[in-house]
Amino acid sequence: MTKTCTTEELLAGTQIPLDVFSYHYYNGVSERIAGVLPAAHWPSHLAHSDPYLAVAPDCARAHAALRDRFVPGGQMWVTESGDAGGGGDTWASTYLDVLRTLNELGSYATITDGVIFHNTLASSDYGFLEHGTFLPRPNYFAALLWNRLMGSAVYDCRELNRENVHVYCHSRKDGACGVVYLIINNSLTDAISVTIPQKALRYTLHAQTMRSSAMLLNGKELTISGNCGLPELVPELQPQGTVSLAPSSCTFFSL
C-alpha cells in the first residue's frame, strides 16, 4: 500500500528556503474515473452552481494558509489545473466550463498574486484548443479576453457578490485610468440587473446552449478566419445606467 503524507509532513524537513508554494488543483474528477472516486465527481447539472464554483477559491484559501506557514511572503502557483482530473469532463470543451474558468481566475486573484497553469493546451477534453484541429474552444477565448482586459491591481468586490452573482474588479490592462469589472451570472434561468455609473465598454460572453462548442461575444460567434486569424474582440458601448445581464452570461465592463 502506498503511504500518503500531508503537506506539513512533506515540508517540515525543508532546509532550503522556498521561493514559491505550488499545488495541483482540479474541480473534481471526470466521468471516466468517477467509478473509482464517485464522491469527487460533479454531475453536469451542477457545473454552473455556486457550490461547484466555490471549490477553487476554497481550495486556494486552504493552500494560502499553508503558503503563509511554509513560504511566507512567497507567491502561490497552481501548477496544474483544469475542470476535472482524469482528462476532463465531456463538457469541459463547451461554454458550460467558461463560468468555472473565469470564476477561478477571478477568485484566485483575490487570494494571491500567483499564477495558474492550465493543463492542457491541445490535448484532452479540457484543452484550450481542440485536439488535432487546434481550433480554439470557448475557454481559450475566455482566457484571452481576461488576459487582455484585467490588470494586475485587484480590488475588493466581496460586498457585491450574492447567490448566482460573482463580481471581480481589476485595474485596466491597457494602463488607462479606470477599472474593469467581471460579472458572472451563473443562474440558468434569471437575469440580473446592475447599475453602471458611467459609460463603459461591454464584452458579454454567452452561448446558444450551455454545452455549445461555439461561444458568442456580444451576440457574434467567435471563430478563427482565413490563415488562422483570431477574431477581433470588439466591445459594445454601454451607456450609463441599469443594465440587464442574461442568465448564464459572463460580462466584462471596462470603465
Residue 4 located in a structural domain: no
Is the residue at 216 inside a domain? yes
Predicted confidence (pLDDT) per residue in 89-142, tens digit: 999 999 999 999 999 999 999 999 999 999 999 999 999 999 999 999 999 999
Helix (H) or strand (E) holding 252: strand 249-254
223 C-beta neighbours (distance < 10 Å), count: 13
Evaluate whether 129 touches 140 at the Cβ level (below 8 Å). Answer: yes
Give residue 241's domain range.
18-254
Q: Does residue 64 lie in a domain region? A: yes
CA atoms of 240 and 255, how far apart (whole Å): 10
- The pLDDT of 199-216, averaged and rounded, is 98
d(CA 200, CA 235) in angstroms, rounded, equals 9
Lowest mean per-residue pLDDT among 3-7, 57-61, 178-182? 3-7
Q: Is residue 195 part of a domain?
A: yes
Please state the separation of Cα 53 from the chain's center in Å.
Answer: 9
Q: Are 98 and 142 in contact (CB under 8 A)?
A: yes
Number of domains in the chain: 1
Cα 10 from Cα 64, distance rounded (Å): 16
Would you say residue 2 lies in a domain? no
Classify residue 203: in a domain, yes or no. yes
d(CA 148, CA 242): 25
Beta bridge partners of 192: 245
User: Do residues 174 and 219 make contact, with C-beta atoms less than 8 angstroms apart?
Assistant: no
Return the DSSP state at 100: H
pLDDT at 128: 97
pLDDT of 141-186, one tens digit each? 999 999 999 999 999 999 999 999 999 999 999 999 999 999 999 9
The 10s digit of each residue's pLDDT in 13-23 is: 888 889 999 99
Does the pTM of the predicted model rise above 0.85? yes
Specify the pLDDT at position 255: 97
- Asked if residue 5 is part of any domain, the answer here is no
Q: Within a domain: residue 11? A: no
